[in-house]
Chain A
């Protein structure tokens, strides 16, 4: 199964990719991806956490790990019994033209392609397209309707791609008899926030989204807070690891605890 998506995902997309890959790998599925930053890396990472075996298909020669930031991941992937493949001869440098061709190989290797966060016209959609041409299944993970990174996935869903909420959705489609671990999809360990000992939580978090950056100016106006006080509180939350900065805005870090309370 292939898990592909944006190179610069939201924390939400990264969490989904990692969790999904973990659960699938634990169920015995081989996760194929492209060793790119973002969703690809999270998928490989998740597969390793799930104790599975994962395959990276490169747009360069197998001896040229790109991006270099993922060299460590590539090493661990091989140690865990995975594989690094490429259609290009050794020493080929990563060129933009290589990647669409690489995406075809990913699609060809997988029985099913799951797209996690893809902007319009992105490489992940090329992979999905290739999969359809090759007669493979395509599924997509929905995202926030405000996010530019959801546009591609939602387009796929509209066009009839399967909806992915958790590993079971994927496994059902693969009709593989594996055991699914979690339902609904739970955030992976490193995205989970430890609740403060006194149980106090800044109510500010309720006003923040986990994919669309919240503009502090708009928030201050909405809550009637002086701007400086709001920045101080957001920075405190940032220090506690509950929010991260995204450009001008703040995004809530995805955690099981928070999403539970939110849905209640």
Chain B
């Protein structure tokens, strides 16, 4: 007696179909599990045996062989439990499994179905493999239902799945519909910030053009607070973006049950002691998404950038360029999306007082140089906007903050972004040199200004294009077709002073 049941494994953000083939033959009673099953899958034998018995079903006392195909794909996790148990029951009953249904779920010993990670990824990936029905634990139904192209059948336990397959008590499809798009209120409003005109303007420009941003200022200047304002200046996630964010969280098992779709832009602020694997993704066996993938379509905030391990910071380069990160571990290679906007912050010097004006910096020039060198280099070459954030005088904190609110700024940002998308199909931060010549024509005076600056300040080619990209965004904020000289001049102002003291 042979039964074949479909299930799936998650590799990166991809669903790989897995066939569970169960054969029951005469011979000495035994249970053999083959097909490159790792430790966690071999434990499924014990769970399946107990769950079948405790569900009032018969566990066949014969020679039982379970093969997980394709055999070259390494299997891990507990999501295959349900498919293995269902296969055994069907084989024992002499029934065939439907060819267009897949089964996901972890078993308790009493037969109850438990949550598994990555259900959303399976629900979105399996329709492309010819699967129309997906049986999932009841607690994962809302998550699975976000994959619109599939019929979700929530099941409380193994017994209900088996009686569904025997035609005794069919499972009711999940009835919930896709949640409506929302514009959530920002976590922190710009209106709450005192002063900080330079940083406000830089945040607006960063939001409008998708530029990465570096804030440079003494401790306590409010850099973290400013960074937290950025998600509120960006447009809400689109459905596709929200689903991708949810997929990453699904793989990590971080989706809250019941309300899986979050329309807020992610904001991640990993501490500088974070490991490389934690930041870009990794781990033993199969790589898991790191902070940069969790920050997808949102903001990755690196406070105290100079304190991060240099290797960790340099590992951000490839994801910054490509919007994806490729990770290879012993169990195989995966790619995770990593399209995030970087906001970095740093003290101006080890003691933090350089450039404050009210107190003298006590760092030696050599210490300053070392600190700067930790910050320079290839990563900062990709940060278009660099801005000083001075400490707000204490007397100013007593009064009412007088700046614009996030919603006012966001209107300008949205207008500028839609101009860019209409013109070039991408944000200005992604423009390369050839794009700039085409999409960001410079007025003669603007070209002269930029070239004069490039000569006198010995600007690198990257620096030249950085200023040009930012100038394009400044022009877009004014809905100007061409880049004027004042845009170039302002763009050149958003870089760090050579002299901090």
Nearest Cβ on chain B to A103's Cβ, whole angstroms: 17
Decide if A212 touches B357 in the complex (CB within 8 Å).
yes
Interface residues of A in 171-201 (CB under 8 A from B): none
Decide if B357 touches A147 in the complex (CB within 8 Å).
yes
> Is B500 part of the contact surface with A, judged by Cβ < 8 Å?
yes
| Inter-chain contacts of A8 with B (CB < 8 A) | 361, 365, 501
> Is B354 part of the contact surface with A, judged by Cβ < 8 Å?
yes
| Inter-chain contacts of A147 with B (CB < 8 A) | 357
Give per-residue flags for B326-368: 1 if the beta carbon is below 8 A from chain A beta carbons, else 0: 0000000000000000000000100000111111110001000
Q: How large is the interface on A (under 10, 10 to 19, 20 to 34, 35 or more residues)?
A: 35 or more
> Is A30 part of the contact surface with B, judged by Cβ < 8 Å?
no
Contacts known (A37-B365, A216-B198, A239-B452); A232 close to B489, Cβ less than 8 A: yes
Decide if A119 touches B360 in the complex (CB within 8 Å).
yes
Q: Which of B53-61, B149-157, B490-498 contacts A (4 or more CB under 8 A)?
A: B490-498
Select from chain B the residue with minimum beta-carbon distance to A148: B360
- Give the contacting residue for B198; candidates A37, A212, A221, A227; CB below 8 A: A227
Select from chain A the residue with minimum beta-carbon distance to B201: A227
Q: How far is the CA of A233 from the CA of B486 in the complex (A)?
A: 8
Nearest Cβ on chain A to B320's Cβ, whole angstroms: 26
Q: How far is the CA of A227 from the CA of B493 in the complex (A)?
A: 11
Q: How far is the CA of A149 from the CA of B358 in the complex (A)?
A: 9
Contacts known (A235-B490, A245-B497); A228 close to B198, Cβ less than 8 A: no
Q: Which of A40-48, A82-90, A246-254 contacts B (4 or more CB under 8 A)?
A: A246-254
Q: How far is the CA of A55 from the CA of B178 in the complex (A)?
A: 81
Decide if A148 touches B493 in the complex (CB within 8 Å).
no
Nearest Cβ on chain B to A181's Cβ, whole angstroms: 30
| Inter-chain contacts of A220 with B (CB < 8 A) | 197
Select from chain A the residue with minimum beta-carbon distance to B501: A8
| Inter-chain contacts of B486 with A (CB < 8 A) | 229, 232
> Is B422 part of the contact surface with A, judged by Cβ < 8 Å?
no
> Is B113 part of the contact surface with A, judged by Cβ < 8 Å?
no
Give per-residue flags for B188-209: 1 if the beta carbon is below 8 A from chain A beta carbons, else 0: 0000000111101100000000
Among B196, B357, B498, chain A packs the most CB atoms within 10 A around the CB of: B357
Decide if B356 touches A247 in the complex (CB within 8 Å).
yes
Tell me if B's interface is mostly helix, strand, loop or mixed. loop
Select from chain A the residue with minimum beta-carbon distance to B359: A148
Nearest Cβ on chain A to B197's Cβ, whole angstroms: 3
Decide if B499 touches A244 in the complex (CB within 8 Å).
yes
Give per-residue flags for A87-125: 1 if the beta carbon is below 8 A from chain B beta carbons, else 0: 000000000000000000000000000000001101000
> Is A72 part of the contact surface with B, judged by Cβ < 8 Å?
no
Decide if A221 touches B197 in the complex (CB within 8 Å).
yes
- Give the contacting residue for B357; candidates A37, A148, A232; CB below 8 A: A148
Decide if B358 touches A148 in the complex (CB within 8 Å).
yes
| Inter-chain contacts of A217 with B (CB < 8 A) | 195-198
| Inter-chain contacts of A216 with B (CB < 8 A) | 197-198
Nearest Cβ on chain B to A86's Cβ, whole angstroms: 20
| Inter-chain contacts of B456 with A (CB < 8 A) | 239
Q: How far is the CA of A153 from the CA of B167 in the complex (A)?
A: 95
Q: How far is the CA of A113 from the CA of B295 in the complex (A)?
A: 59
| Inter-chain contacts of A149 with B (CB < 8 A) | 360
Nearest Cβ on chain A to B404's Cβ, whole angstroms: 11
Q: How far is the CA of A91 from the CA of B368 in the complex (A)?
A: 25
> Is B390 part of the contact surface with A, judged by Cβ < 8 Å?
yes
Decide if B453 touches A239 in the complex (CB within 8 Å).
yes
Q: How far is the CA of A221 from the CA of B287 in the complex (A)?
A: 51
- Give the contacting residue for B388; candidates A221, A238, A247; CB below 8 A: A247
- Give the contacting residue for B355; candidates A120, A213, A239; CB below 8 A: A213
> Is B449 part of the contact surface with A, judged by Cβ < 8 Å?
yes
Contacts known (A239-B453, A247-B356); A215 close to B390, Cβ less than 8 A: yes
| Inter-chain contacts of A221 with B (CB < 8 A) | 197
Interface residues of B in 456-501 (CB under 8 A from A): 456, 474, 486-487, 489-490, 492-494, 497-501
Q: How far is the CA of A217 from the CA of B195 in the complex (A)?
A: 7
Nearest Cβ on chain B to A123's Cβ, whole angstroms: 12
| Inter-chain contacts of A120 with B (CB < 8 A) | 360
- Tally of B interface residues using CB under 8 Å: 37
Decide if B389 touches A248 in the complex (CB within 8 Å).
yes
Q: How far is the CA of A122 from the CA of B365 in the complex (A)?
A: 15
> Is A78 part of the contact surface with B, judged by Cβ < 8 Å?
no
Give per-residue flags for B12-46: 1 if the beta carbon is below 8 A from chain A beta carbons, else 0: 00000000000000000000000000000000000
Decide if B355 touches A247 in the complex (CB within 8 Å).
yes
Select from chain B the residue with minimum beta-carbon distance to A7: B365
| Inter-chain contacts of B389 with A (CB < 8 A) | 248
- Give the contacting residue for A246; candidates B200, B355, B359, B489; CB below 8 A: B355
Select from chain B the residue with minimum beta-carbon distance to A219: B197
Select from chain A the residue with minimum beta-carbon distance to B396: A218
Interface residues of B in 228-274 (CB under 8 A from A): none
| Inter-chain contacts of B111 with A (CB < 8 A) | none
- Give the contacting residue for A231; candidates B201, B217, B356, B358; CB below 8 A: B201
Interface residues of A in 234-262 (CB under 8 A from B): 234-236, 238-239, 244-249
Q: How far is the CA of A114 from the CA of B500 in the complex (A)?
A: 26
Decide if A248 touches B490 in the complex (CB within 8 Å).
no
Decide if B197 touches A245 in the complex (CB within 8 Å).
no
Decide if B356 touches A227 in the complex (CB within 8 Å).
no
Contacts known (A67-B365, A148-B357); A239 close to B449, Cβ less than 8 A: yes
- Give the contacting residue for B390; candidates A233, A238, A249; CB below 8 A: A249
Decide if A249 touches B197 in the complex (CB within 8 Å).
no
Decide if B200 touches A227 in the complex (CB within 8 Å).
yes
Decide if B388 touches A232 in the complex (CB within 8 Å).
no
Q: How far is the CA of A246 from the CA of B357 in the complex (A)?
A: 9
Contacts known (A147-B357, A148-B358, A217-B197); A232 close to B499, Cβ less than 8 A: no
Decide if A228 touches B201 in the complex (CB within 8 Å).
yes
Interface residues of A in 136-188 (CB under 8 A from B): 146-149
Decide if B499 touches A246 in the complex (CB within 8 Å).
yes
Decide if A235 touches B489 in the complex (CB within 8 Å).
yes
Q: How far is the CA of A120 from the CA of B197 in the complex (A)?
A: 31
- Give the contacting residue for B492; candidates A119, A215, A229, A235; CB below 8 A: A235
Nearest Cβ on chain B to A234's Cβ, whole angstroms: 6
Decide if A248 touches B197 in the complex (CB within 8 Å).
no
Nearest Cβ on chain B to A210's Cβ, whole angstroms: 13
Decide if A231 touches B493 in the complex (CB within 8 Å).
yes
- Give the contacting residue for A247; candidates B195, B196, B348, B452; CB below 8 A: B348
Contacts known (A147-B357, A216-B197, A231-B201); A248 close to B390, Cβ less than 8 A: yes
Q: How far is the CA of A249 from the CA of B496 in the complex (A)?
A: 11
Shortest 7 CB-CB distances between A and B: which pairs? A247-B355, A245-B497, A217-B197, A248-B388, A8-B501, A231-B493, A248-B390
Q: Which residues of B are at the interface with A, using a C-beta cutoff of 8 A?
A: 195-198, 200-201, 217, 348, 354-361, 365, 388-390, 449, 452-453, 456, 474, 486-487, 489-490, 492-494, 497-501
Could you list 14 examples of A-B contacts with CB < 8 Å?
A: A8-B365, A120-B360, A216-B197, A217-B195, A227-B197, A232-B489, A232-B493, A239-B453, A239-B489, A246-B355, A246-B357, A246-B501, A247-B356, A248-B198
